[in-house]
Chain A
Amino acid sequence: MSPETTEAAVSVRDLRVRYGEREILHGISFDVLRGETLVILGGSGSGKSTLLRTLVGLERPSSGDIWIKGKNMCAMSDAELDDTRKRMGLSFQGGALFGSMTVGENVCLPLREHTQLEESTIQIIMRLKLEQVGLAGFESYMPSQLSGGMKKRAAVARAMAMDPEILFFDEPSAGLDPIIAAGVDNLILKLQKAFRMTIVVVTHELASAFLIADRMLLINKGDILAMGTKAEMQTSTHPRVRQFLDRIAEPEVEGEMDYLQMLTGEAHDRAL
């Protein structure tokens, strides 16, 4: 029953996610192709973070399927889900390094927990991964001693420790100055070129998105608004896509009735 083709690393079909009464994702479908960098764009509250959390198994969808390697993630037992997670890496927005461990121990942790490798081998892999993200020699630092950009790099090294098939990035350039952010972009490009990794990036940084993406996906209010290559996105005439790409602010209040409703709070649900 898998709709997965040979070149799709992940196939999402009619995915719906709800928190309580509120539906965040309204049935979205797309493929992530093997070896590509897919950038998921969207404004705040668009549901892009929820989509990412669902893809890595942190949220359970209310309906729909996520096919990875011929298996449906939404119908997996906890043990199967853990096996799938070992083949994915996620670099968190704030790094999410374990504050009680050194950078090196952070990278070693998944290897120590999930593999039978000898300690000397684990140390070599750890140094290799840190070198790949440009943090060679920082293994004995505590996360609190690192700058924001270095934390992100260390988080990437930890996400890559198990040689994942898919690497996910949550807002890789959020909270970084332009130079450091460019450095993180370069790192993603390097991983893509050197290892032909499948990479999924969630961001709202347009410049960074157009630099690293093979394909893009624009999410708005829980629906896919547009999907395509960089060129296709840039030539899109869809008004919402143009608004997002050209960075046009939301008109403040659209009409008298809307204003009245806003004041009385009667159409509150609509605003969500």
Chain B
Amino acid sequence: MDFLSNIGRGAIGGLAYVGGLARLGGRAAWYTLIGPLRGKPLRLGRAVHQAMAVGVEALPILSVITFFIGLILALQGAYELRKFGALQFVASAVAISITRELGPLMTAIVVIGRSGSAFAAEIGTMKVTEEIDALTTMALNPVQFLVTPKFLAMILMMPCLTTWADMMGVFGGAVFGVTGASFTLGTYISATIDALLLRDIVSGLLKSVMFGVVITAVGCHEGFSTGAGSEQVGRSTTSAVVMSIFLVVVVDLIFTALFYALER
């Protein structure tokens, strides 16, 4: 019976966590969509500031990582394809796996490491130093003030970053295509364009938006649930990263299955 009650407790805890994320996301959505109509202004300045930190400043590291991922995919794909003398399919293999899966996923991983953890640390520190309470006593809603700009920035920047990551991945593949297979840069690009359907790119971008929502919700939720004491901030940051990676993979699975069912 102990075993069963542990399963039950775990399930309830997990559902409560997801419920907490949904409530936070819902309130942020309210302040984004309905709040401005009720005289609660959107903090576009803060959102732009966040977008810089989340998006623009992530470009160098994201470029390098996805470039390498594209190159690795091409090498791994070629290892199998050359047995069949089908090296010309490297371009399409890279293009499809980058745009549908690895572009959005690698972007999410980079953004979790850079921004999801930063959200949890920022809000957690503010919780410990009573800055969250200070916002409340100044009649400033912490969700409106802190979380909404982060959601806005993420929803905007994730598809942009993913598009860039897709390009860099394809470019990484092209480096192998040109040096290791019989492509020129031009033929590689046109082979990529021929292989891709619009829905490959769109499904990747849709996923990236969902990843952005998950990363922001988890990061901010972990920040707000920081207990007293500075060591708790470290704990929040760690669990924000672990939880985000886990939930991003879960969301990825759900959406990939959904697209698979829809695209038949």
Q: Which among A53, A96, A113 is the interface contact of B134 at CB below 8 angstroms?
A: A96
B138 touches A85 (CB 8 A): yes
B138 touches A96 (CB 8 A): no
Q: Is B76 an interface residue (CB 8 A)?
A: no
Chain A positions 72 through 103: 1 when the CB is less than 8 Å from some CB of chain B, otherwise 0: 00000000001101101010111011110000
Chain A positions 42 through 68: 1 when the CB is less than 8 Å from some CB of chain B, otherwise 0: 000000000001001110000000000
List residues of chain A with CB within 8 A of the CB of B131: 96-99
Q: How many of chain B's residues have a CB under 8 angstroms from any CB in A?
A: 12
Q: Which among B125, B133, B138 is the interface contact of A109 at CB below 8 angstroms?
A: B138
Chain B positions 121 through 154: 1 when the CB is less than 8 Å from some CB of chain A, otherwise 0: 0000110011101101111100000000000000
List residues of chain B with CB within 8 A of the CB of A53: 133
Q: Is A247 an interface residue (CB 8 A)?
A: no
With A98-B131, A99-B129 known as contacts, the answer to whether A82 contacts B137 (CB < 8 A) is no
Q: Is A110 an interface residue (CB 8 A)?
A: yes
List residues of chain A with CB within 8 A of the CB of B139: 82-83, 85-86, 110, 113-114
A92 touches B130 (CB 8 A): yes
Q: Which among A82, A93, A158 is the interface contact of B130 at CB below 8 angstroms?
A: A93
Chain B positions 97 through 116: 1 when the CB is less than 8 Å from some CB of chain A, otherwise 0: 00000000000000000000
Q: How far is the CB of A191 from chain B (nearest CB, A)?
A: 18
Q: Is the interface of B mostly helix, strand, loop or mixed?
A: helix
Among B125, B130, B136, residue most surrounded by chain A Cβ atoms (within 10 Å): B130
Q: How far is the CB of A154 from chain B (nearest CB, A)?
A: 12
Q: How far is the CB of B134 from chain A (nearest CB, A)?
A: 4
In whole angstroms, what is the CA distance A97 to B140 when docked?
14
In whole angstroms, what is the CA distance A113 to B137 when docked?
13
In whole angstroms, what is the CA distance A127 to B241 when docked?
42
In whole angstroms, what is the CA distance A58 to B125 when docked?
18
Q: Which among B129, B133, B136, B140 is the interface contact of A113 at CB below 8 angstroms?
A: B140
User: B48-91: which have CB < 8 Å to A?
Assistant: none
B133 touches A110 (CB 8 A): no
Q: How far is the CB of A20 from chain B (nearest CB, A)?
A: 15
Closest chain B residue to A92, Cβ basis: B130
A90 touches B134 (CB 8 A): yes
B130 touches A56 (CB 8 A): no
List residues of chain B with CB within 8 A of the CB of A83: 139
In whole angstroms, what is the CA distance A168 to B138 when docked?
12
Closest chain B residue to A93, Cβ basis: B130
A interface residues with partner B (beta carbon < 8 Å): 53, 56-58, 82-83, 85-86, 88, 90, 92-94, 96-99, 109-110, 113-114, 158
Other A-B pairs beyond A93-B130, A113-B140, 17, CB < 8 Å? A57-B136, A58-B133, A82-B139, A85-B138, A85-B139, A90-B137, A94-B130, A96-B131, A97-B131, A98-B131, A98-B134, A99-B125, A99-B131, A109-B138, A109-B140, A110-B138, A113-B139
